[in-house]
Chains A and B, each alone.
Chain A
Amino acid sequence: EIVLTQSPGTLSLSPGERATLSCRASQSLSSSYLAWYQHKPGQAPRLLIYGASSRATGIPDRFSGSGSGTDFTLTIGRLEPEDFAVYYCQQCGSSPETFGQGTKVEIK
């Protein structure tokens, strides 16, 4: 099983600031199989990034993904009020699919 470890657990930032979220895999995985999701309480999760760096349909360009091998990063260029949420990385290339434990981006 591929374990994904996200850091930090919580990120306290102000609107307009840049957010950098990390996702580290326990073994190397193809970047094709790394995705990022945004999840707000009471809402359905939302696909942001797939294939490590491709934005999903309708996702603003302030969201970007990068990385390869075991280290992946989600960057939010300038935080908007609606961006405060929990973010998960996911690997979907091997069973069992796994999610990281999540990073909460909260308003400072």
Chain B
Amino acid sequence: EVQLLESGGGLVQPGGSLRLSCAASGFTFSSYAMSWVRQAPGKGLEWVSSISGNGGGTYYADSVKGRFTISRDNSKNTLYLQMNSLRAEDTAIYYCAKKVAGYYDSSGYPNDYWGQGTLVTVSS
């Protein structure tokens, strides 16, 4: 059974940093691209970032480019999102999602499994 468990969310002041983790199990982690998707309070889903299975290809939304860094440790079956220079508008539930394929590239694949999400609140 595929399981994705996010952690690392919490309350942080504007300008601060946070690192989210997503522990994966139930599938061959390194074979699949992964994504982070967020949902701000009362809003819809917003794609944040994706990474290929081998970690060699990454993509970012313009809203987070230069501030967030996606990475993965295939030996630990874990996906990360390093978030720096956080803003109030980054407040959201952050979901980790597995793509249906994508060892070399994350582009072109939907997300077939999602975690329950972790809440990030940016406020003073």
Residues of A within 8 A of B (CB): 32-33, 35, 37, 39, 43-47, 50, 56-57, 86, 88, 90, 92-102
Report yes or no: B107 in contact with A98, Cβ–Cβ below 8 A. no
Report yes or no: A45 in contact with B109, Cβ–Cβ below 8 A. no
B88 within 8 A of A: no
By a CB distance below 8 angstroms, the chain B residues around A45 are: 37, 45, 95, 97, 111, 114
- Among A56, A92, A101, which residue has its beta carbon within 8 angstroms of that of B108? A92
Contact with A along B102-114 (1 / 0, CB 8 A): 0000011111111
Report yes or no: A92 in contact with B107, Cβ–Cβ below 8 A. yes
Chain B contact residues, majority secondary structure: strand
- Among A57, A86, A96, which residue has its beta carbon within 8 angstroms of that of B47? A96
> What is the number of contacts between chain A and chain B, taking CB atoms within 8 Å?
63
Report yes or no: A96 in contact with B109, Cβ–Cβ below 8 A. no
Report yes or no: B61 in contact with A44, Cβ–Cβ below 8 A. no
B85 within 8 A of A: no
Q: Tell me the smallest distance from the CB of A86 to a CB of chain B, in Å.
A: 8
Known A-B contacts A45-B45, A99-B44; the reply to A90 vs B117 at CB < 8 A is: no
By a CB distance below 8 angstroms, the chain B residues around A56 are: 112
By a CB distance below 8 angstroms, the chain A residues around B45 are: 37, 39, 45, 88, 90, 99, 102
Q: How far is the CA of A88 from the CA of B97 in the complex (A)?
A: 15
Report yes or no: A43 in contact with B108, Cβ–Cβ below 8 A. no
Give chain B interface residues in 6-63, CB to chain A under 8 Å: 35, 37, 44-47, 50, 59, 61-62
Q: How far is the CA of A101 from the CA of B40 in the complex (A)?
A: 12
Q: How far is the CA of A45 from the CA of B37 in the complex (A)?
A: 10
By a CB distance below 8 angstroms, the chain B residues around A90 are: 45, 47, 110
Report yes or no: A92 in contact with B44, Cβ–Cβ below 8 A. no
Known A-B contacts A45-B114, A99-B44, A99-B47; the reply to A50 vs B100 at CB < 8 A is: yes
